[in-house]
Amino acid sequence: MPTETAWAKINLALHVRKRRADGYHEIESLFAFARDGDDLAFAPADDLTLAIDGPFAAGLDAGRGNLVIRAAEALRETFGIAAGARLTLTKNLPVAAGIGGGSADAAAAIRLLARQWQIDLGDPRVGAIAAALGADVPACLVSRTLRGEGRGDALDLIDGSALAGMALLLVNPRIGLGTGPVFAGWDLVDRGPLEHGDPLAAALAGRNDLEAPAVALVPAIGDLVASLGALEDVVLARMSGSGATCFALFGHDAARAAAAAAIRARWPDHWCLETALK
């Protein structure tokens, strides 16, 4: 059965520069992606359907409002596809967690169905579909190290070879956090641009401007970032996206394993994933 991974998105840095008249915000972000994520499977069918399983499937709507179905319907309509698909989404990642979620799932649907329906991913109509589905979908469609500006969908591919394989720990307090309330809590202060050049150096010099409003809503995020930052051999610890998932990068796998053990001992109820950057 053909499958596609919806790789977890990590904002190594996220600078919010201003609020736009259309309700979005001007941002500058460094996107990287983990080697793990949700899984999407395809089977041929006359109709277009979606089933959702996995550890974070509870409460998710598999109907027409789901971004996976919306992505599939947009592809069918735009490219005149008569065939359907029976899609199964295995939800391995927490929902409303700042690591891609529905955006990554929609992007995976586009990649998977484009292969099955012989659609060129380079066709500008595919990019337009991704952008219409949400600000993070274009980045998740590429799922490589990127610099994003504008809404986050004006993308430049950057050399992420030095990041590839870097040990990554993801931790979530199992508290869903909507993007809207976090952005609404941003204090409107422009704290300056994101550096260009080496992505790790830029990330280390950068910040996540959504961390403070997220902590105001979920104080546990502040404790988590501080604890990750205090771990041995940590390179960078920060909240991803609008939260509540936090991440830590390490120079080697053994440090990540020791960190994961310490986090699990302190917060046994937290979701914790040992992975690496792709």
- Helix (H) / strand (E) element for 233: namely none
Peptide bond before residue 244 is cis, with ω within 30 degrees of 0: yes
Whether 9 is catalytic is yes
Q: What are 138's two structure tokens? A: 């274009």
Give the phi and the psi of residue 234 in degrees, each rounded to 5: -80, 140
Contact in structure between 18 and 45 (CB atoms under 8 Å): no
Rounded Cα–Cα distance for residues 162 and 166 (Å)? 8
Choose, from 9, 39, 105, 153, the residue flagged as catalytic. Answer: 9
Using alpha carbons, select from 197, 207, 198 the residue that is nearest to residue 229.
Answer: 207
In the set 36, 38, 39, 136, the catalytic residue is 136
Retrieve residue 120's tokens: 């060129």
Token pair listed for 258 = 């020791």
Joined together, the tokens standing for residue 141 give 């469609």
Nearest to 194 by CA among 141, 244, 243, 150: 150
Each as own residue / partner, the long-range contacts of residues 178-181 (CB below 8 Å, 24 or more positions apart, any chain) are 178/96, 178/242, 179/96, 179/241, 179/242, 181/213, 181/217
Which residues on neighbouring strands pair with residue 38, listed in sequence order?
6
Residue 156: active-site member: no
CA angle 211, 216, 220 (to 5 degrees): 80
Q: Report, as residue numbers or ranges, the catalytic residues.
A: 9, 136
